[in-house]
Structure 1
Amino acid sequence: MSEARPGFQREAKKHLGQHFLHEKGVINKIVQAVDPKPGDRLVEIGPGQGAITFPLLDRHGALTVIEFDRDLIAPLTEAAQAHGRLTIVHRDVLQVDFTALAKDVEGTDGQIRLVGNLPYNLSSPILFHALEHAGAIRDMHFMLQKEVVDRMAAEPGSKVYGRLSVMLQAYCRVVPLFKVPPGAFRPPPKVDSAVVRMVPRAPGEMGVQDPVRFTHVVRAAFGQRRKTLRNALQGVADTAMIEAAGLRPDARAEQIDVAGFVRLANLPTP
């Protein structure tokens, strides 16, 4: 299937980072990975031309989508009538309060399940925005640039282990699922994509006592990757604090696991 759906414009909008998924095999794998159950509150970010939307509606019967492109609202509304009950939130996803949305969407457990083929130019801001509402989210299944997924799931010592890895893994279990080739999209992007599952951790499992402090420590540590913790964290944590967290002051940020950053950030500041 390579043509646009009836009622939809053929061309994607480059300034919105649109790449429309069309490969049925990939779509089926995503729906199987989500595996919606009765009572689930499904929310899709950026439905585009409905490649994932309509199969999810066929499977689940009800879906809320967040779409910024006003030209997609009418064709999505019309096409959805043959598949199920579609609720469209016409807003920038970064302005959507997921916690409030979880209270508004019908369901049983008060949490939403996020799904989406995220625009590459907004993927990190959307991920961090979701983290701010992790308590209202049961899980997330996102398609992103493969390079980003590699960074999300990277372990200490990896060349791509960094701030994104630590911040996401502190709050979520990150599980890469499968790679998606450029040809699965129209127009094809210049990079491989991948689908990842993120499951927010329970508050007691995270261990982060002060999210603002934790963010500050991680950002400073990775701000200049070649510096040791002693130098990178000047003004944020002194040598005594670094050692009190069980870390070596001469280590670099990419050598420290998530638990180490949590211990350091939880220490009382002088």
Structure 2
Amino acid sequence: MGETMKRLPIADPIRTSEILHHYHLQAKKSLGQNFLTNPAVINSIVTTAEIAPGDQVIEVGPGIGALTEQILAQGAKLLAYEIDGKLIEVLTNELPADAQIKILHQDVLQTDFNKDFEGYFDPTKPVKVVANLPYYITTPIIFRFLESGIPLESLTVMMQKEVADRIEAQPGKKDFGPLSIAVQLDMESHIALNVPPSSFTPAPKVDSAVVQIVRKAQPIRLPNKDLFNKIVKVSFAQRRKTIYNNLKHLVGQELQTIDDLHELLRAAAIAENRRAEQLSIADYLKLTELVDAK
């Protein structure tokens, strides 16, 4: 490929176009591929992530390496998960030969992080996730990292604006739900940047946002996380129903009788006609504590 193109960052539309042409590539809708072709946005992601030399960084869906190239330029040690086998060759050829990168042709939702880290990442040091996430599985990926048990310091990730709003949502807002709660338990989050469809090739039909999610200095302690997650899931099972009607599904499982449910809500000082999104995280913690004590 031409020397001119080599001098351009991968995110430059000219170089992206030449790479796609050279390798006979097209964005795969089935994998939610939209190549980021706005160097300014990529610089903002890298700056927001505060990547320092030697940082251990995970990238999901590196694509043709536009963001990857700039993460590596900061001196990070990178572990990249790419599910599209055709892109492994592109990444291997287009990224610097001396780059500190381990590329895995694996699904991040199915992989074993401990095994992937072995001999590469120091398991005692924190990990940052920096990625332009595939939009169709953004939520499962975020849950995967939050529940992974790895020493996660932060996630700086591009996602659909609608999902970003759900992460940020507070109790009482229609977007508040299980994702909001899962993130806000352990992490602080903010939308760092709104990104228009024109920043991608092909342009998606939705607006995007870069969200930074950082671990709290003092995460909320959960003595019974499985029970907490179950109560949250049941509470939001049918959003239009009241909390009482949704929690009836616990009767015969965590609760013995319907009277126990009335007593539970009374003890938690939660009105039976409230809906799941109107409850605070503290309310869900109280419900968990009361059920766990039965």
What TM-score do you get using the length of structure 1 for normalisation?
Answer: 0.91
For residues 106-121 of structure 1, what are the structure 2 equivalents within 5 Å? Answer: 106-107=121-122, 109-121=124-136
**Structure 1 187/208 Cα, relative in aligned 2: closer, same or farther at 3 Å?**
same
**Structure 1 103/170 Cα, relative in aligned 2: closer, same or farther at 3 Å?**
farther
In the other structure, the counterpart of 1:229 is 243
- Distance in 2 (CA, whole Å) between partners of 1:83 and 1:168 is 36
**Structure 1 130/61 Cα, relative in aligned 2: closer, same or farther at 3 Å?**
closer
The CA deviation at 1:269 is 5.2
Whether the 8 Å CA contact 1:80–1:86 is kept in 2: the answer is: no
The CA deviation at 1:175 is 1.8
Equivalent residue in structure 2 for 1:137, among 135, 152, 176:
152
The CA deviation at 1:58 is 1.2
The CA deviation at 1:110 is 2.4
**Structure 1 201/240 Cα, relative in aligned 2: closer, same or farther at 3 Å?**
farther
**Structure 1 108/163 Cα, relative in aligned 2: closer, same or farther at 3 Å?**
closer
The CA deviation at 1:82 is 5.2
For residues 37-48 of structure 1, what are the structure 2 equivalents within 5 Å? Answer: 37-48=52-63
CA-based RMSD: 2.1
- Distance in 2 (CA, whole Å) between partners of 1:105 and 1:200 is 23
**Structure 1 61/137 Cα, relative in aligned 2: closer, same or farther at 3 Å?**
closer
In the other structure, the counterpart of 2:264 is 241
The CA deviation at 1:229 is 1.6
Say if 2:83 is the partner of 1:60.
Answer: no
Q: Which has the larger radius of gyration?
A: 2
**Structure 1 216/106 Cα, relative in aligned 2: closer, same or farther at 3 Å?**
closer
In the other structure, the counterpart of 2:4 is none
In the other structure, the counterpart of 1:216 is 230
For residues 96-111 of structure 1, what are the structure 2 equivalents within 5 Å? Answer: 96-102=111-117, 104-107=119-122, 109-111=124-126
1:219-259 per-residue CA deviation (whole Å, 9 max, x = no partner) reads 11111122222221014261222232332222211111112
Equivalent residue in structure 1 for 2:185, among 170, 174, 194:
170
- Distance in 2 (CA, whole Å) between partners of 1:155 and 1:83 is 45
- Distance in 2 (CA, whole Å) between partners of 1:183 and 1:15 is 20
Structure 1 window deviating more from structure 2 (37-46 vs 260-269): it is 260-269
Q: Which amino acid is 1:48 matched to?
A: G
Q: Which amino acid is 2:171 matched to?
A: P
Say if 2:40 is the partner of 1:25.
Answer: yes
Q: Which amino acid is 1:210 matched to?
A: N
1:161-213 per-residue CA deviation (whole Å, 9 max, x = no partner) reads 122212221232222211111010000000000011112346x6322221211
- Matched residues, percent identical? 37
- Distance in 2 (CA, whole Å) between partners of 1:138 and 1:182 is 29
The 3-state SS of whatever aligns with 2:109 is helix
In the other structure, the counterpart of 2:8 is none
What TM-score do you get using the length of structure 2 for normalisation?
Answer: 0.84
In the other structure, the counterpart of 1:159 is 174
- Distance in 2 (CA, whole Å) between partners of 1:94 and 1:44 is 13
In the other structure, the counterpart of 2:283 is 260
In the other structure, the counterpart of 2:258 is none
Whether the 8 Å CA contact 2:54–2:75 is kept in 1: the answer is: no
In the other structure, the counterpart of 1:2 is 13
Whether the 8 Å CA contact 1:156–1:257 is kept in 2: the answer is: yes
In the other structure, the counterpart of 1:190 is 205
The 3-state SS of whatever aligns with 2:236 is helix
**Structure 1 247/8 Cα, relative in aligned 2: closer, same or farther at 3 Å?**
farther
The 3-state SS of whatever aligns with 2:66 is coil
The 3-state SS of whatever aligns with 1:208 is coil
Give the gaps of 5 or more residues in structure 2: 1-11, 256-260
Say if 2:157 is the partner of 1:146.
Answer: no
